[in-house]
Amino acid sequence: MNPVIRTLALACATSGAVLLSAPARAQSFDWKHFDGETLNVLLNNHPWSNAIRDLAPEFSAKTGIKLRIELLNEDPQRARLGTLLQAKSSDIDVFNSLQIREGAVYAKAGWYADLTPFVSNRALTAPDFNLEDFGEGLRKTATFGGKLVALPINVEGPLFYWRSDIFAKCKVEVPAFLEDIPLAAAKLKACDAGQGVWASRGVRNAIPYAMASFVFNSGGDFKSADKKQPGLCQPKTITGLSMYADLLKNYGPVGATNQSFPQVVELLGQGKIAMTHESSNEFSNIMKYPGREGDLQIKVLPKGRDSGISKPVAFGFGLSISEYSKKKEAAWYFVQWATSAEVETKLVAKGVAPPRTSVFAGPAMKNWAGEKPVRQQWADALREISRTGTGDYASPTDRVPETREIIGRAVQEVVLGQKTAKEAACAADIDLAKLQ
């Protein structure tokens, strides 16, 4: 045969072979890659966790990886997590945690595995994963020292719930601005003395969550102007703080300082209060009470009249891989599956707000929200707080849990009448400064 033709034929055959095998090489992500592995997952009691546990068999069917999911309430989960990770145990592969609260400390301790190499590894990540689908704010909260330590699993934040029927009955306008809330409360109380008006979190470390937006919308902040010192002792912060405390003191239920969201949910659900500022997570629980689907309305906490600011609290829990896990790659399969668009779509029906913008705007969400007006309000409110919200409502320090206690205590002192708002706030600043 002609040597030129022979060479050409060889070249064609070779390139043909190369072309045929190229798709096989690029298509190296395989859900079944870790078939037969077992993963230990430690989650805290949360609507998301309960829903994921129900969906776990689907994951096992898809990947052949067996899941051992442990669900514990927040405090026992943190105790177990802390003990095991301090001992550098490999008994936990995946866990969830709250980046805005313990993220900085856990990251410094080196407990989180860096997810960035996994995300960028085509062989280990499904092609449709799309990290940018998660809002930038959420991604930033989950990044410490350049490392992506968690993938967001939900969005949540406190929302303003109110009983439209009670407001209508008493001919009170729905608060359009933050300052209208205490005024509305006064009118409601005058209208019907037997109807409870307001309830919200009063337990020390739970208060900041519900109160933060009162401070922000009044134009205040928990940090000083230069962001380097605690800022409770500023006039606008004190305004917000005292508004929240006074609402509890004057219009709140008996024993408010011992109440957290279970009691608030109970009161709202039973119709014993007219309005509250409570977590979006409790939405599905509240709707279980008879009548609430029809008479409850939801929106973001109104902005301040003078400040014009609307800065709600919004954050999400994050799913992380333990740095001491011996099965990080298999764990990554679970993490990316649990945060995939497909799974998040399924979780929408269980009241879990998705952190992926595509899912939030997607058809599943639209259908579910369209079924009832109050659901649409919930979804709209969540969309807004995802955009404008912040997870940072502490003084400048890594020791966030302690700031919650100090700030909450200040509010409690005002509610119990032990100090004025100014005294409590400025005393708290001194304690907060010690944390820096």
Residues that bind another protein (CB under 8 A): 40, 45, 50, 53, 68, 70-76, 78-80, 82-84, 86-87, 89, 91, 104-110, 196, 199, 203-205, 253-263, 265-267, 269-270, 272, 282, 285, 288-290, 398-399, 401-402, 405, 409, 412-413, 416, 418
Name the minimum Å distance from CB 54 to another protein. 9
Please, what is the minimum distance in Å from the beta carbon of residue 203 to another protein? 5
Nearer to another protein, 257 or 377 (CB): 257
| Residue 357: both structure tokens together | 């913008």
Q: How many CB atoms lie within 10 A of CB 154?
A: 27
**Closest alpha carbon to 185 in 263, 258, 277, 283:** 277
Query: Quick one: 66 or 383, whose CB is closer to another protein?
Result: 66
Instruction: Tell me if residue 331 falls in helix, strand or coil.
Output: helix
Helix 400-415 × helix 421-433 angle, to 10°: 160
Residue labelled with tokens 């945690």: 97
In whole angstroms, how far apart are CA 313 and each of 182, 323, 375, 381? 20, 29, 20, 12
**Shortest distance (Å) from residue 434 CB to another protein:** 11
Q: How many angstroms separate the CA atoms of 269 and 258, rounded?
A: 18
Cβ-based nearer residue to another protein, 253 or 396: 253
- Could you give the C-alpha distances from 302 to 63, 118, 276, 306, 308, in angstroms and in order? 46, 41, 12, 12, 10
Which residues lie closer than 8 Å to 294 by C-beta, 6 or more apart?
A: none
Q: Which is nearer to another protein, 236 or 327 (CB)?
A: 327
* 8 Å CB contact between 322 and 94: yes
Nearer to another protein, 117 or 262 (CB): 262
Provide, rounded to whole angstroms, the least separation between the CB of residue 362 and another protein: 29
Based on CB atoms, which residue is closest to another protein, 85 or 155?
Answer: 85
Chain-centre distance for alpha carbon 33: 31
CB of 60 to another protein, least distance (A): 15
CA–CA distance, 279 with 272 (Å, rounded to integer): 18
Q: Is 67 helix (H, G, I), strand (E, B) or coil?
A: strand
Beta carbon nearer to another protein, 36 or 110:
110
> Minimum distance between the CB of residue 401 and another protein, rounded to whole angstroms?
5
Locate 261 and state its tokens. 């969201």
- As measured in angstroms, the least distance from the Cβ of 429 to another protein is 17
Residue with smaller CB distance to another protein, 53 or 189: 53
Is the Cβ of residue 271 or residue 304 nearer to another protein in the bound state? 271
Q: Which amino acid is at 407?
A: I
By beta-carbon proximity to another protein, the closer residue of 138 and 415 is 415
How many other CB atoms sit within 10 Å of the CB of residue 206? 17
Residue type, 298: I
Smallest separation, CB 263 to another protein (Å): 6
Cα–chain center distance at 109: 22
Total number of residues shown for the chain: 436
Task: Give the nearest distance from C-beta 168 to another protein in angstroms.
Answer: 24
Q: How far apart are CB 90 and another protein at their closest, in Å?
A: 9
Query: Which residue from 139, 187, 98 is spatially nearest to 394, judged by alpha carbons?
Result: 98
